[in-house]
Structure formats: C-alpha cells, structure tokens
C-alpha cells in the first residue's frame, strides 16, 4: 500500500462507501436493499482488515492463545439483531411518529434543497442531537444503565459495534430522525443518508489503525472513539461524544485527540462479576436492572 493510500485510508473507505451507494441509488436499486449490502460489505472489509493489520492483535477473535468463541458468538448475534431488526425498527418508528406529529400540528412544509445540501445540513443536525443525547447517556444514571452494556467489552472491533441494549439505539437515533422528518427533509434522501451514517460506528469501533491526517481528523476516527471507550470510573473524564464529526466536541470542549497506546484499556468499572448470561442477554433486561 502506497504512503498516500495508507495515510488517507479512512477517507478512501468513506469515498467507496458513499460512491457505491450513489451508484446503486442511480441504478434504482431499492434503498433498503443496498443499505443492507453496504452494511455487510463494510463490516466484512473491516473484519478482514482487522485480522490483516490490527491496531491491537490481542483484540482479534483469533490469537496465539486460540479462538475467542464467547466474544465472537455474542458479537455475531448482536450484529444480526442490529442489522435485521433494530435499525429497521428505529427508522420505521421514527417515520411513524414524525408523520403523526406533522399531522397533529398541520405542518406541511417540505425542504426543497438539492439532495446534497439536505445531506450536509442533516449531518450537522443529526450529530448535534446525537452528541447531547450520547452525553446525557453517560451523565444521567438511568440512561447510563441502558448505555453501559455497550461499554462493557474490553476490546473494540467492528463486530462489537452492535453490543448494547436496543433501547440504546432507540434513545440515541430516533430523536434525530423525528426532528429531520418533522422539519420536512425528504424521506428517501434521509433513508439513503441514514444508511450511510449507520456504517460509521463500524469504522469508529474497528480495531484498525486509521492514520490521523488533518483532513481525516474532521471525522470521528477509531483513535478518538477508543478514547471515548476508555475504562470508565469516577476519575476518568469522558470525551468524544459525537459519532460522525469532531465539530460538536470541539465546540463544546469535549474533544480529546489522545495520545493513546496499545495498552489502552476499555470497559466499565463494576462491582459485579462479568457473568456471561448478563452480558449476552443484557439487552433483554429492563434498564432498572443494573448490568
């Protein structure tokens, strides 16, 4: 791999994802279909790349000590639930609620901007809402009980992205979609954007060393999100709450660029043993049951 390709790896991945999606969109392939294909394709690419060129080899499922079947099986099931059920449920529920709100208030306005301008505006709106909800998920005890399952893994990887309570996705992602639809953003355009944005957490959680270039640092890179997943205790400030861009973290003073090392620890402080049934079936528990 040339130095240029290596240094711009993060942007190249985004370029091919967005470019491929635009091509499929132009070919009139149903959005829901190419959204699933894109998600799976990016996930497979990252898992392979994690094995070939990992940030931390000890975080891979296959190491010199053997195969981590427990973590692999959990991640696979969470990913299947995420891709097949949760993402569609969050989107469908958001559309339903937004339509009812618009009807309730007699709001008929539709944003008439070019699709590219709608996407740019929507990204900043989405990330602003995600930033604050995600931040509250860490600061409000009841919300942290929902979100803490996502922070339990002691290793990060693309497959571990889906670890979490489905309520977590509903609380974080539904408000942004409801706001966009109520404001009158085009639903087809937003579905396409949502499908692209949905794969960004795969990248930010991946066990891949994406070089931090000046241009790439506009986005939330795996390096930055690893800092967010730092071992949580009372003395560890939490940073990097936004999911797409670093803009809002920089604006509100929560951006942290590191540095970090290979021994960077992730997970959560808990006075309870790491029981397999609690971690694996934790998403079925009501948030009042502390995981």
Confidence of residue 276 (pLDDT cuts 50, 70, 90): very low
**Cα separation of 87 and 32, whole Å?**
11
3-state percent breakdown (helix, strand, coil) of the chain, nearest 5: 65, 5, 35
Parallel/antiparallel/unpaired status of strands 66-67 and 62-63: antiparallel
Q: Spell 26-58 as b/e; 16+ CB within 10 A means b.
A: eeeeebeebbbebbeebbebbbebbeeebbbee
- pLDDT at residue 209, rounded to an integer: 77
Between 37 and 275, the higher pLDDT residue: 37
Nearest of 77, 82, 89, 180 to residue 129 by alpha carbon:
180
Burial of 126 (0-12, 13-18, 19+ CB in 10 A): buried
DSSP 171-220: HHHHHHHHHHHHHT--HHHHHHHHHHHTTHHHHHHSSB-----TTGGGB-
Q: In this model, does residue 6 exceed pLDDT 80? A: no
Assess contact for 207 and 157: CB atoms under 8 A: yes
C-alpha torsion 287→201→97→129, nearest 10: 90
For the whole model, what pTM was predicted?
A: 0.82
Average pLDDT over residues 57-68: 75
Q: How many CB atoms are closer than 10 A to CB 23? A: 11
Please report how the helices 187-197 and 9-26 are oriented relative to each other, as an axis angle in degrees rounded to 10: 150
Domain borders along the chain are 3-284
Between 65 and 98, the higher pLDDT residue: 98
Q: Which of 92-101, 200-209, 271-280 has the lowest mean pLDDT?
A: 271-280
**Cα separation of 190 and 26, whole Å?**
15
Average pLDDT, whole number, for the chain? 79
Confidence of residue 13 (pLDDT cuts 50, 70, 90): low
The SS3 assignment for 54 reads strand
Between 15 and 108, the higher pLDDT residue: 108
């Amino acid at each position: 791999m040339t130095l240029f390709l290596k240094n711009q790896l993060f942007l190249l991945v985004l370029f091919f994802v967005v470019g491929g999606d635009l091509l499929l969109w132009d070919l009139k392939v149903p959005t829901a279909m190419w959204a699933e294909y894109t998600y799976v394709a990016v996930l497979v690419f990252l898992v392979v790349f994690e094995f070939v060129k990992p940030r931390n080899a000890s975080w891979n499922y296959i190491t010199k000590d053997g195969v981590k079947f427990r973590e692999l099986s959990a991640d696979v099931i969470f990913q299947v639930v995420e891709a097949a059920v949760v993402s569609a449920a969050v989107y469908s529920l958001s559309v339903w609620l937004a339509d009812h709100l618009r009807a309730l208030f007699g709001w008929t306005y539709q944003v008439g901007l070019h699709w590219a301008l709608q996407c740019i505006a929507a990204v900043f709106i989405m990330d602003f809402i995600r930033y604050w909800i995600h931040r509250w998920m860490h600061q409000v005890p009841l919300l942290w009980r929902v979100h803490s399952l996502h922070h339990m893994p002691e290793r990060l990887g693309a497959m571990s992205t889906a670890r979490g309570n489905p309520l977590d996705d509903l609380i974080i992602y539904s408000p942004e979609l409801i706001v966009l639809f109520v404001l009158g953003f085009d639903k087809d355009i937003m579905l396409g954007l949502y499908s692209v944005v949905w794969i960004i957490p795969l990248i930010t959680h991946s066990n891949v060393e994406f070089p931090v270039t000046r241009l790439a640092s506009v986005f939330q890179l795996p390096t930055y999100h690893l800092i967010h997943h730092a071992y949580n205790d009372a003395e560890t400030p939490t940073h990097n709450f936004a999911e797409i861009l670093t803009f809002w973290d920089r604006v509100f003073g929560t951006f942290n660029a590191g540095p970090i090392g290979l021994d960077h620890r992730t997970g959560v402080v808990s006075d309870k043993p790491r029981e397999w049934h609690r971690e694996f079936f934790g998403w079925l528990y009501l948030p009042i049951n502390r995981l």
